[in-house]
Structure 1
C-alpha cells in the first residue's frame, strides 16, 4: 500500500510544475532597477524609469492583469508601450524608446524598460504564466 501512495505522490508532483515556477520582477524605485528573480535566483537586472516628480509609481506586490505585445497609451497621446504587462489598473511594465531616460525617474508612473528587456520580460511572464508571476515595487 505504501508503494502505491509513494507512486501517486511522485505522479502528483510531476504533474504540478506550474506551481513550482515562480517569477518575481522586483523594482527598486531608489535604484531605478528591475531585478528578475526566478525560483529565488537573480537572473538579470535592468535599468528602468519610474514616475517622475508629480507622478507616482504605485508600491506593493501585484500580479500581471493583462498583457499586450503592441499597445499604445490611451491617456498620453497614443505613446507606444511595447510588450506591456499591466499590473495595477493603468500601470504597466513596458518598453520605451526613450532609452536615454533609463536609470532615472521620467515616466507618468509606469515602469519603463529598454524595448529589448521589455520583450524578454514579456516572454518570461508568458512562459511561466501570469498566475506564477509577482511584481514587487519598493522604496
Structure 2
C-alpha cells in the first residue's frame, strides 16, 4: 500500500514539475533543409507542406528550435538593399520566415539565411501566428 501511495505522489510531482514549454506548441513550422520544405502543424494536425528556400552556399540557416519573437507585416531588410520581406516572423536575431518575390527559386537554397516562402503561404503562416500568439508558435529547423 505504501509503495502504491508513494508511486502516485511521485507521478503527481513529476507532472507538476514538467515545464509548460515541454508541451507541444499550438503552431509549429518544421523546416527540412535537405528537402527544402516546410511542414506546418496546427494543433497537432499537419495542415500544409510548402517549398522553401533557405541559405545558399556560403550562408547559414541555423539548425535548432525557437519560439517566434516578433512579427512584421511589411518588413524590409536593413542588410540586403531594402529587400522586401513580407509577412516576416522573426525567430532568432535577424533570422525570419518571410515571403519572397523569387518564387521560382523555392525548393532550393537561395537565401542569405532566412526561410523564404511563397507570399501567399507566408501570409497564411503569419495569420496563424497572429491568431495563436507568438508564445504558441515554434520554428524547428533540421538538416
Q: When the two structures are superposed, what TM-score results if normalisation uses the length of structure 1?
A: 0.84
Residues 25-59 of structure 1 deviation map (CA, whole Å, 9 limit, x = unaligned): 00000010010001221110010000000000011
Distance 1:21 1:72 in 2: 28
CA contact (8 A) 2:25 2:138 kept: no
Counterpart position of 2:36: 32
Q: Alignment partner for residue 100 of structure 1, among 72, 79, 104?
A: 104
Moved over 6 A (4+): none
Separation in structure 1 between the aligned mates of residue 26 and residue 134 of structure 2, nearest angstrom: 10
> Tell me, what secondary structure is at the counterpart of 2:83?
coil
- 2:123 corresponds to which residue? 119
User: The residue matched to 1:84 in structure 2 has which SS?
Assistant: strand
**Structure 1 stretches of 5 or more lacking a match?**
1-18
Q: Residue 134 of structure 2 corresponds to which residue in structure 1?
A: 130
**CA distance in structure 2 between the aligned counterparts of 1:128 and 1:92, rounded to whole angstroms:** 18
TM-score using structure 2 length: 0.82
Unaligned runs of 5+ residues in structure 2 are 1-22
Give the total of aligned pairs: 121
Q: Which has the higher strand share?
A: 2
The residue correspondences of 1:7-86 to structure 2 (distance < 5 A) are 22-86=26-90
